[in-house]
Amino acid sequence: MLKSISPRAAAVLTTGVAVTAIVMAALPAQGIVGGTESTRAYSFMGSFQPSYPAPPRSDGHGCGVEVLAPQWVLTASHCAGRNPTDAKVGVPRGWKVRVGSLDTTSGGEVAEVDHYYRLATSRDEGGFWGRDLALMHLRTPVRAKPVRIASTTPADDTPVRIMGWGMTCDDSTDPACFPTRLREADTVVQPLSTCPSAGPVGELCVGSADGKVAASNMDSGGPALVRERNQWAVAGVVSGPDESGKTLYTDVTRHADWINGIISGANVPPDDQIPNVEGAADLGNCVGSVVRPPASRPQDPALLLTNGHCVQEQRPAPGTALVDRPADREVPIADRQGYPQTTARAKRLVYATMTGTDIALYRLDKTYAQLKAEGAKVFQLTSTPVRAGGPLTMAYAGGRLDCTAEAVVTNLREGGYQQDDSIRYATSEDCAPWHGTSGSALLAPDLTTVVGIHNTHNEAGEQCTDNNPCEVGPDGAVTSVQGRSYGQQVYQIAACLTEGSELDLSHPGCTLTGAAPRPGHRDGPPQ
């Protein structure tokens, strides 16, 4: 199920990354609507324009950047978090910046980004707030005159200039809300105590006291500029909105040593080791994988497997299944580093249920042979149930989790639904799924066979409520343990599929919800 996130966390995602694979509702834009269009270009000011995941606007703008040296630009860490595996240091694909122009679509200089260095990620024990900075290295140097880092943290009431190409209104579907011309405003640094969302250190509270002058969605990475020796210097970088309507900027001056150490080459962190996430399909709020049943043929339309609760339409009601429904869903199939190896479209929802198991099958517009020719990873679909004690690899779109099937639970109940013979994982640091991992394939040790699918975990220790599954034993005893996570069996699917990736719920051996009852039929895995 989808997890709610804190307003500050949501703000960071929408402000910098706009709409990623996880589609967030747009927050009200504070806007540099209290400012005006810039009348002259700033040589150091630039627009970060990644191609994947592409921002939801025609000019490709995602964040602001500042040129610090001919081959280095500064931005926010969450802007560089557009890499699929949330790596801290690595090589991006399809990233570019346009610097020195008033317009995001023309003029200035365009350079490709070939490396990124993030000061912090959300996983860092040292904290993210106040450390939301990243450096990006350009493949070729630009001629633009760089901006210096301010010499010290600006005091309260210090005049600052803010700028960017962020949203000027709230409607993310309206092109008029996405300015292509640079906007700027003059405002001041406010006491940090007037920004309730601020962390204890490392941030600047910027904007007018009433919040009518501040940065907006997609201004992330943009600067707060101060005057030093009659020149502009960057004192802060947009991190996210404050609940007061003002904007929180990361204090760049506190991290000058980190910045200079990388730019000078004296202290360059090594690249992260990127996990192999080949074959995962990022569906937005869930994950899927292309699976091939044992009886399939190369010319058959490929099938995508995810959770029943991940369907785009209304979820199947308890005790029911959705069968043969129209669909239109983009399916990017990841390469080893998480970037799309190829993309298909789900054109038909073949089947979905949350009763007995939690699965959905989509039929794609490409065959298994076509996907193989395009280099996409296709997994084999098991016809054998998972047993207790077996090792499992959870194939999430941003990484791999090492899990163990601790037990097979007779019945698992959650929010009016019941799944049978569910897979409980052994609790460990290596197997701690979170919201957004729903639909991730559970792989056998060969890393090619899908033997299960992740679907839920108990958040609060409640019994049988949404996001709090409970176990029901053969004797009816109910157990609910906070933090326990579960997957579902998928062995039942193969017996219900025929040639051409067609579903036949009346096929001998088919036991999915909606199948016709047969004499001697027993729920659960075969003995």
**pLDDT tens-digit readout, 150-185:** 999 999 999 999 999 999 888 888 998 999 999 999
Q: Specify the higher pLDDT residue, 435 or 331.
A: 331
% residues pLDDT > 70 (the chain): 91
* Pairing relationship of beta strands 379-381 and 449-457 according to DSSP bridges: parallel
- Distance, CA of 340 to CA of 281 (rounded, Å): 9
User: 291 has which bridge partners?
Assistant: 303, 379
Task: Answer yes or no: are the C-beta atoms of 377 and 276 closer than 8 Å.
Answer: no
Q: Give the CA distances from residue 495 to residues 207, 309, 384, 410, in Å, rounded to whole numbers and listed in that order.
A: 62, 22, 11, 21
Quote the pLDDT of residue 24: 27
Q: Domain coordinates of the chain in residue numbers?
A: 13-264, 280-503
pLDDT at residue 526, rounded to an integer:
35
Of 168-177, 210-219, 388-397, 413-422, least confident by mean pLDDT is 168-177
What value does the mean pLDDT take over residues 317-345?
96
In this predicted structure, what is the pLDDT of residue 54? 84
Q: What's the one-letter identity of residue 389?
A: G
Q: What is the pLDDT of residue 33?
A: 59
d(CA 488, CA 452): 6
Q: What top-level class would CATH report for the domain 13-264? A: mainly beta
Share of the chain above pLDDT 90, in %: 82
pLDDT tens figures, 233-256: 999 999 999 999 999 999 999 999
Same fold, 13-264 and 280-503: yes
Instruction: Locate 165 and state its tokens.
Output: 């190409």
Burial of 296 (0-12, 13-18, 19+ CB in 10 A): buried
For residue 23, the model assigns a pLDDT of: 25
Predicted confidence (pLDDT) at residue 518 exceeds the cutoff of 50 = no
Q: Please state whether beta strands 148-149 and 231-241 pair in parallel, antiparallel, or not at all (unpaired).
A: parallel
Mean pLDDT of 26-52: 78
Strands 287-292 and 379-381: parallel
pLDDT at 525 over 70: no
Measured on CA atoms in the order 29, 33, 20, 72, is the torsion positive or negative? negative
Task: Say how many Å lie between the first and final Cα of the chain, rounded.
Answer: 31
72: nearest Cα among 162, 139, 163, 150: 139
pLDDT of 4 strictly over 50: no
C-beta atoms surrounding 310 within 10 Å: 25
> How long is the chain?
527
Q: pLDDT tens-digit profile of 446-485?
A: 999 999 999 999 999 999 999 999 999 888 899 999 999 9
What kind of architecture, by CATH, is found in domain 280-503?
Beta Barrel (2.40)
CA–CA separation, 112 vs 97, rounded Å? 7
Q: Are 162 and 206 in contact, with CB atoms under 8 Å apart?
A: yes
Rounded Cα gap, residues 46 and 68, in angstroms: 11
pLDDT score for 516: 67
Which of 358, 255, 273, 271 minimizes the C-alpha distance to 311? 358
The half-sphere exposure of 123 on its side-chain side, counting CA atoms within 13 A, is 7
Band of residue 277 on the pLDDT scale cut at 50, 70, 90: very high
Which amino acid does the sequence have at 40? R
Predicted confidence (pLDDT) per residue in 202-220, tens digit: 999 999 999 999 999 999 9
- For residue 124, what are the CA distances in angstroms to 88, 128, 408? 10, 7, 34
pLDDT band at 82 (very low <50, low <70, confident <90, very high): confident
Q: Reduce the DSSP state of residue 89 to 3 states and report it.
A: strand
Instruction: Please state, rounded to an integer, the average pLDDT across all residues of the chain.
Output: 90
Tokens of 499: 């040639």
How, if at all, do strands 497-498 and 391-396 pair? unpaired
d(CA 405, CA 426): 6
Q: Which residues pair with 326 in a beta bridge?
A: 348
Contacts of 477 (CB under 8 A, 6+ apart): none
445: preceding bond cis by omega (within 30 degrees): no
Supply the pLDDT for residue 186: 97
Structure tokens belonging to residue 478: 């109910």
Query: What's the pLDDT at 182?
Result: 97
